[in-house]
Amino acid sequence: MRLVLILSALHFVLMWIALLSGLSFMDMDGSEPTALPSAISSVASSCAFVLMQPGALLWTTWASHNLPDVFEWALTIINSLVWGAVLALVWTWLRRRNRPA
């Protein structure tokens, strides 16, 4: 259980770093609407998109307009817990698989 919580917290932090990094390197002032996003912004946004799955698939436009923000935060935390649980299962499986007989 402790491994799940550690990996979930790590996922949560990495997801936010990727999301905020992707946004901070974009041209946000709109001065050049045809400018392409920087390479850092593209990589960070792609990483954030992957790390936000599968929770992002459940959060629809309807939900963002009709549900309070607390549901979005709950979904984000649950998403990180799912990632943490899956990563802990993979970690445990790999450790058992590589253990000498």
The predicted model scores a pTM of 0.79
pLDDT digits (tens, 9 = 90+) for 20-52: 888 776 655 556 555 666 778 888 888 999 999
CA atoms of 52 and 71, how far apart (whole Å): 15
Q: Whose CA is closest to 5, among 71, 72, 73, 82?
A: 82
pLDDT tens, 9-20?
999 999 999 998
Q: Where are the domains of the chain?
A: 2-97
What is the per-residue pLDDT for 58?
87
CA-based radius of gyration for the chain: 17
